């Protein structure tokens, strides 16, 4: 009887809807199956015996209120300061971002291109300004981040333990968990993603996904794939491009 109150559904349309439902159910089962490997801990990472030259790139637009905290955390890294440089791509900044960068020993890059605005375009331009041949890998942070003191050291450890790695995603967490219910929800999402998406996929030998910040990409990988990205989610686009080329994101 309820069907009397709905328009008639053609058999082709009904089959299509049923097919979509079946596909989504199978995909959900697949993801649940993959996530179980998140209960396995990460493999121990031995300390590296050699140091690699790294360049940190921070895309920024009017970030004077937060950039200092990030730069301070980078200057407090356990990794030797003479083995990494900090570049901040100041995209149409009208505040004191560049001046603060210089105060903390970073190198500001000034950019003003109204026709090509946004993080993706800013990173592409910055990579063309940085002498990449001097470095072995590029580390990207958002301007409002804080870096764990061991971040660069552990990235270096990972590169030595996994010489085939081309892109590595670091652990992402919230710095203001207790501020509000919204920050708590974001934090829970980070915890779930770190454990049951990124770690789980790594434990299966699958590719993880770049998270847009707290990540490392080797210079040979950047030169091989380029940064001709077009979307707002440049991290997901680059991850897909890397996987399609036969590589994968490490975690």
Q: What domains, with CATH codes, occur in the chain?
A: 54-250 (3.90.550.10)
In tens, the pLDDT along 23-45 reads 889 988 988 898 888 888 888 88
Closest by Cα among 134, 51, 143 to 104:
143
Report the phi/psi class of residue 173: left, alpha or beta, with left for phi > 0 and alpha for psi in -120 to 50. Answer: beta
State the pTM of this model. Answer: 0.87
Per-residue confidence (pLDDT) for residue 230, from 0 to 100: 82
Q: How far apart are CA 248 and CA 241, in angstroms?
A: 9
**232 Cβ contact list (under 8 Å, min separation 6):** 118, 119, 120
Percent of all residues in the chain with a pLDDT value above 70, rounded to a whole number:
96
Confidence band, pLDDT 50/70/90 cuts, at residue 15:
confident
**What are the helix (H) ranges across the chain?**
11-35, 67-75, 97-103, 119-129, 151-161, 181-193, 200-204, 219-225, 234-244
Instruction: Judge whether 91 and 67 are in contact, CB under 8 Å.
Output: no
**Nearest 10 degrees: Cα torsion 178, 181, 185, 191:** 20
> DSSP letters along 44-98, please?
P-PPPSS---EEEEEEESS-TTTHHHHHHHHHT-SS-GGGEEEEEEEES--SSHH
> Looking at the DSSP assignment, which residues form a beta bridge with residue 54?
84, 137
- Please give the average per-residue pLDDT across 75-102, as a whole number: 97
DSSP 187: H
Cα 247 to Cα 10, 33, 60: the distances in Å are: 44, 23, 29
Find the largest Cα–Cα distance for the chain.
77
Mean of the per-residue pLDDT values for the chain?
90
Regarding beta strands 137-140 and 215-218, do their DSSP bridges make them parallel or antiparallel, or are they unpaired? antiparallel
Per-residue confidence (pLDDT) for residue 3, from 0 to 100: 47
Collapsed DSSP state (helix, strand, coil) of residue 192: helix
**188 Cβ contact list (under 8 Å, min separation 6):** none
A 10 A CB-CB count for 66 gives 16
């Amino acid at each position: 009887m309820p069907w009397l109150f709905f328009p008639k559904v053609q058999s082709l349309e009904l089959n299509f809807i049923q097919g979509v439902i079946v596909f989504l159910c199978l995909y959900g089962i697949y993801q649940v199956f993959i996530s179980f490997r998140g209960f396995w801990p990460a493999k121990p990472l031995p300390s590296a015996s050699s140091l690699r030259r790294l360049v940190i790139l921070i895309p920024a637009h009017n970030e004077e209120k937060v950039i200092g905290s990030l730069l301070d955390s980078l200057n407090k890294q356990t990794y030797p300061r003479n083995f990494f440089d900090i570049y901040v791509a100041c995209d149409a900044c009208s505040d004191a971002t560049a001046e603060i960068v210089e105060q903390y020993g970073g190198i500001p890059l000034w950019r003003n291109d109204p026709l090509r605005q946004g993080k993706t375009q800013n990173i592409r331009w910055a990579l063309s300004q940085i002498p990449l041949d001097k470095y072995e890998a590029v580390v990207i942070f958002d301007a409002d981040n804080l870096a764990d003191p061991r971040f660069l050291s552990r990235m270096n450890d990972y590169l030595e333990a996994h010489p085939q790695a081309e892109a590595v995603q670091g652990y992402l967490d919230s710095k203001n968990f207790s501020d509000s219910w919204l920050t708590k929800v974001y934090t829970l999402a980070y915890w779930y993603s770190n454990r049951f998406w990124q770690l789980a996929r790594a434990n299966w030998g699958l590719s993880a996904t770049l998270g847009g910040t707290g990540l490392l990409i080797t210079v040979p990988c950047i030169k091989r794939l380029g940064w001709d990205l077009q979307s707002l989610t440049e991290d997901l686009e680059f991850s897909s491009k890397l996987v399609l080329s036969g590589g994968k994101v490490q975690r």
